[in-house]
């Protein structure tokens, strides 16, 4: 099994390329974006030293499925999937914030709450909550969109408006879309025996309209619990059975790594890499309700270059 960890394409009409944490984004004539979902994996805002076979294919295909399932809620950037690891879409001017929506108290929000924090991103949290407890209503806790290598920072609605990162009208629409998308994601997850716990959305503008961008409802951008046994585990104060990238973070923390200065990423043995790949396949199949079909991992870069180039030539 081979993993695609770096790309260096030169597509027709290419003006620039941005290498993100896990995606490489190619600008085609300032009109389209070719987003390659690589097999890189990040945790604690650090790209880990080894790629995870099939991860890019899985994330790209999950995102495509959910983008198609939410076009009635808001327009999105996706135009085509010319390759299992690639989405081509319209080029939007992105808002420099990520809209994080939480239905349950867990992860970083729980860690802060446990330490006495009762307000996150300007949102007051009820007293007396327990880990993995459902909020009365989903809450939106935005973050800034950090440059490569930097950490995203919590930001409140008030700060977003004060800094002019969005107008009041734009932010109202971002909130509306965020909650509607989360509701749809929650309904789809429930049909698969899952709970959509929290997720993030990115938005941009295209021809004066707000568009949903990037991936949605994937295990990299979202956390899922299994619905079966959730209540029982919650009442006993036990850890929830999760479908998310949290298991990678937990493995890192158990081995003394949380992305802090001076800490070393633990060795990623072939066994660890294989187990993470298998967990991602499990995530894919549960989230989509479909069997995962492994594409050939030989010559990944050549295949992507051929498929994308053919697509772009057709669209000229």
* Domains in the chain: boundaries: 94-243
3-state per-residue secondary structure call for the chain: CCCCCCCCCCCCCEEEEEECCCEEEEEECCCEEEEEECCCCEECCEECCCCCCCHHHHHHHHHHHHHHCCCCCCCECEEEEEECCEEEEECCEECCEEEEEEEECCHHHHHHHHCCCCEECCEECCCCCCCCCEEEEEEECCEECCCCCCCCCECCHHHHHHCCCCCHHHHHHHHHHHHHHHHHHHHHHHHCCEEEEEEEEEEEEECCEEEEECCCCCCCCEEEEECCCHHHHHHHCCCCCEECCHHHHHHHHHCCCCCCCCCCCCCCCHHHHHHHHHHHHHHHHHHHCCCCCCCCCCCHHHHHHHHHHHHHHHCC
> Residue 244: its pLDDT value, please?
74
Whether the predicted model's global pTM rises above the 0.85 cut: yes
Per-residue pLDDT of the chain (316 residues; tens, 9 = 90+): 799 999 999 999 999 999 988 999 999 999 999 999 999 999 888 999 999 999 999 999 999 999 999 999 999 999 999 999 999 999 999 999 999 999 999 988 999 999 999 999 999 999 999 999 999 999 999 999 866 545 678 999 999 999 999 999 999 999 999 999 999 999 999 999 999 999 999 999 999 999 999 999 998 889 999 999 999 999 999 999 887 787 898 899 999 999 898 999 999 999 999 999 998 898 899 999 999 999 999 999 999 999 999 999 987 6
In the CATH hierarchy, which fold is given to the domain comprising 94-243?
D-amino Acid Aminotransferase; Chain A, domain 1 (3.30.470)
Report pLDDT for 245.
80
* pLDDT confidence of residue 253: 93
């Amino acid at each position: 099994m081979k993993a695609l960890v770096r790309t260096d394409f030169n597509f027709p009409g290419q003006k620039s390329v941005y290498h993100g944490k896990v995606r490489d984004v190619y600008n085609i004539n300032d009109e389209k974006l070719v987003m390659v979902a690589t097999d890189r994996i990040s945790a604690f805002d650090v790209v880990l030293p080894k790629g995870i076979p099939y991860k890019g294919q899985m994330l790209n295909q999950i995102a495509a499925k959910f983008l198609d399932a939410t076009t009635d809620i808001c327009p999105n950037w996706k135009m085509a999937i010319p390759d299992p690891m690639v989405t081509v879409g319209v080029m939007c001017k992105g808002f420099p914030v990520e809209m994080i929506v939480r239905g349950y108290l867990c992860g970083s929000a729980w860690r802060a709450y446990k330490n006495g924090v009762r307000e996150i991103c300007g949102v007051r949290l009820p007293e007396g909550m327990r880990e993995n407890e459902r909020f009365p209503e989903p809450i939106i806790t935005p973050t800034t969109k950090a440059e490569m290598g930097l950490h995203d920072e919590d930001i409140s609605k008030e700060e977003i408006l004060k800094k002019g990162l969005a107008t009041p009208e734009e932010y109202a629409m971002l909130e509306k879309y965020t909650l509607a998308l989360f509701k749809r994601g929650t309904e789809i997850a429930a049909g698969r025996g899952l709970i959509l716990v929290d997720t993030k959305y990115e938005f941009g503008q295209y021809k004066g309209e707000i568009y949903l961008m990037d991936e949605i409802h994937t295990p990299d951008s979202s956390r899922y619990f299994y619905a079966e046994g959730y209540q029982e585990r919650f009442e006993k104060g036990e850890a929830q059975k999760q479908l998310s990238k949290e298991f990678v973070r937990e493995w890192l923390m158990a081995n003394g790594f949380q992305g802090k200065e001076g800490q070393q990423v633990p060795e990623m043995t072939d066994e660890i890499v294989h187990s993470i790949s298998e967990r991602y396949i499990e995530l894919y199949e549960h989230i989509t309700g479909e069997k995962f079909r492994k594409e050939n991992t030989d010559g990944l870069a050549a295949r992507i270059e051929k498929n994308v180039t053919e697509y772009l030539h057709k669209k000229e």
